[in-house]
Amino acid sequence: MNLEGMRVMGIDPGLTRCGLSVVQAGRGRGVLPVSVGVVRTPSDVDLSERLLRISKAVGEWMDDYRPDVVAIERLFERGNVSTVIFTAHAVGVLILAAAERGIPVHHYTPSEVKKAISGNGRADKKQMTVMVTRILGLSEPPKPADAADALALAICHCWRAPTIARTRQAQERAAAKQRELAEIAKTHRNV
């Protein structure tokens, strides 16, 4: 399945630092960097204002770069429940921004991204940054880590998108076949 030219926005969600990236799928496993950055919100500002700032920044990125899909890190509890809750607030705002624009969102766990990018689901930040830099042919590593993580998420989706598309097509064909069989069965009962 050829998805060449597909634009993917990768988002490493966070309330203090939210990594944003946009890449474009090339030929085969080629991925071209488009943009990368970080949205920062000060911790001394009210939560609602911080979420509004993130929402506006992400919305501007989506409007400027027009991604076809968003890849975002799936949240999981790492021991500090309050941090996860605040990050979950940010994730909600990010998903809403995509939904308002009709952009589908795919979620990936950190280990899924690490395995896709480095072949090792337990790769450390340094290994991931080296791989992202190499894959995208960057002259220097993206900084901070949130930016590199956002790029890794986007690359991961570029590489998984063909499989996702084939699976969706197979499911659609199976559902169509089921409807067809149900119609045949209904017709035979009425005879």
Domains of the chain are 7-189 (3.30.420.10)
Q: Is 73 a catalytic residue?
A: yes
Candidates 46, 73, 77, 112; catalytic one = 73
Q: What is the pLDDT of residues 141-172, one digit of tens each?
A: 999 999 999 999 999 999 998 888 888 888 98
Binding residues, as ranges, are 12, 73, 146
The one catalytic residue in 77, 140, 146, 180 is 146
Distance set, CA 30 to CA 36, 136, 138, 190 (Å): 17, 8, 13, 55
- Catalytic site includes residue 112: no
Give percent of the chain above pLDDT 70.
Answer: 97
DSSP 144: S
- Among 4, 12, 46, 172, which one carries the catalytic annotation? 12
Q: Is the dihedral of CA 97, 103, 109, 114 positive or negative?
A: negative
- Quote the longest CA-to-CA distance of the chain: 73
Active site residue 146: yes
87 pLDDT above the threshold of 80: yes
Write down the pTM of the prediction.
0.88
